[in-house]
Amino acid sequence: MAKKPKWVVAKEQSKRAAAAETVWLFGLHAVRDALLNPRREKLRLVVTPNAQVKLQDAIAEARIAPEVSDPRKFAAPLDPQSVHQGAALEVKPLDWGRLEDAALGPGDGAPRVVMLDRVTDPHNVGAILRSAEVFGAAAVVGTLHHSAPETGALAKTASGALERQPYLRERNLADAMERLRAMGYVIFGLDGEAGQTLEEAIAPVRDRPIALVLGAEGPGLRPKTKETCDALVKIPFARAFGSLNVSNAAAVALYAAGR
């Protein structure tokens, strides 16, 4: 087989890189919220006739021409197991800017930030984004590597929160924690073996910015992450089972930190 010219190989690599920089969102709720988000760069919308009717107001506001597809041969390149509800939208990932800017928060009160230490499950991260939006967090921060990227599954679980809740991914989580500390944040790492509860630790610093750091289920927080926290805290449990899914733990911690 003849070897491809270098310029052809380079062109193919460029096309693959460009394709990797886009995300396919799916599901009526996720697609609607993305269509209505002026920050989103929207590239291609594929809908079934039924979904087109349900989304017609959002489609009109986004001023995008939909590609109407047969539901039996849905044209969007999605995983066959995806529950797309007849709607898929190709977009560019959102750019939320600098951590320091996002961490200022939208309101006048002391902001809260959720930091995730190698939480890779997109469903968990999507649920955490939803809780962060409900409880008014300033941002959710993950790691650039070994964490869930922006995907259709994450967006669908987030149920629209991905379009409103800043989700940043930092190269080095410990460095990001130090940058928040320099801004006046108090940083609490959730650890089931900690000696004090979250509410006990938060009580004297409730009026200050607070970052809540959660680790992946199983491994938990890495040693370097623990060392960088101001204190390790736990969520108290009434029975010996004593374990919460990371997304549930984030919701409880945000509630406790925000009261």
> What single string gives the DSSP state of each residue in 215-245?
EBTTTBS-HHHHHHSSEEEE---SSTT----
pLDDT beyond 50 at 19: no
Q: Of 50, 71, 91, which marks where a domain is finished? A: 91
Same domain? 153 vs 228: yes
What token pair was written down for 98?
A: 């600098």
Query: Would you state the pLDDT for residue 193?
Result: 82
Same domain? 231 vs 183: yes
> Buried b vs exposed e over 137-166: b needs ≥16 C-beta within 10 Å?
bbbbbbbeeebbebbbbbbbbbbbbbbebb
Same domain? 177 vs 212: yes
8 A C-beta contact, residue 51 and residue 65: no
Query: Would you state the pLDDT for residue 220?
Result: 86
Q: How far apart are CA 158 and CA 72, in angstroms?
A: 27
Query: Would you state the pLDDT for residue 166?
Result: 96
Task: Give, in order, the Cα–Cα distances in Å from 14 to each of 9, 21, 151.
Answer: 9, 11, 21
Task: Give, in order, the Cα–Cα distances in Å from 119 to each of 60, 173, 204, 225.
Answer: 37, 12, 29, 13
Residue 37 lies in a domain: yes
Query: Would you state the pLDDT for residue 15?
Result: 44
Mean pLDDT across the chain, nearest whole number? 89
The structural domain count of the chain equals 2
Bridge-based pairing of strands 186-190 and 196-197 is unpaired
Q: How far apart are CA 40 and CA 237, in angstroms?
A: 41
DSSP state of 118: S
SS3 115: strand
Same domain? 161 vs 195: yes
Range among 8-17, 70-79, 100-109, 122-131 with highest mean pLDDT value: 122-131
pLDDT beyond 90 at 129: yes
Same domain? 162 vs 219: yes
Same domain? 107 vs 38: no
Same domain? 110 vs 84: no
Helix axes 122-134, 246-258, angle to 10 degrees: 20
Same domain? 131 vs 186: yes
8 A C-beta contact, residue 149 and residue 168: no
Same domain? 34 vs 55: yes
Residue 4 lies in a domain: no
Residue 62 lies in a domain: yes
Please give the residue range of the domain that contains residue 149: 99-258
Residue 42 lies in a domain: yes
Mean pLDDT along residues 151-175:
94
Percent of the residues in the chain that have a pLDDT greater than 70, as a whole number: 90
Check residues 195 and 122 and name the one with the higher pLDDT.
122
> Residue 20's pLDDT band (boundaries 50, 70, 90)?
low
Q: Of 91, 113, 134, which marks where a domain is finished? A: 91
Q: How far apart are CA 237 and CA 150, in angstroms?
A: 32
- Residues in contact with 171: Cβ distance below 8 Å, sequence separation at least 6, in sequence order: 143, 144, 145
Residue 198 lies in a domain: yes
> Residue 18's pLDDT band (boundaries 50, 70, 90)?
very low
Indicate the residue type of 133.
E
Same domain? 37 vs 121: no
Task: Give, in order, the Cα–Cα distances in Å from 179 to each of 60, 143, 158, 172, 220.
Answer: 42, 14, 27, 11, 22
Residue 179 lies in a domain: yes
- Per residue in 30-69, pLDDT (tens digit) is 999 999 999 999 999 999 999 999 999 999 999 999 999 9
Query: Would you state the pLDDT for residue 3?
Result: 67
Check residues 88 and 82 and name the one with the higher pLDDT.
88
8 A C-beta contact, residue 128 and residue 246: yes
Same domain? 115 vs 194: yes
What CATH number does the domain containing 80 carry?
A: 3.30.1330
Residue 6 lies in a domain: no
- Per residue in 171-209, pLDDT (tens digit) is 999 999 999 999 999 999 999 888 899 999 999 999 999
What CATH number does the domain containing 248 carry?
A: 3.40.1280.10
Residue 5 lies in a domain: no
8 A C-beta contact, residue 94 and residue 122: no
pTM, to two decimals: 0.86
pLDDT beyond 70 at 11: no
Same domain? 161 vs 236: yes
Q: Of 91, 122, 154, which marks where a domain is finished? A: 91
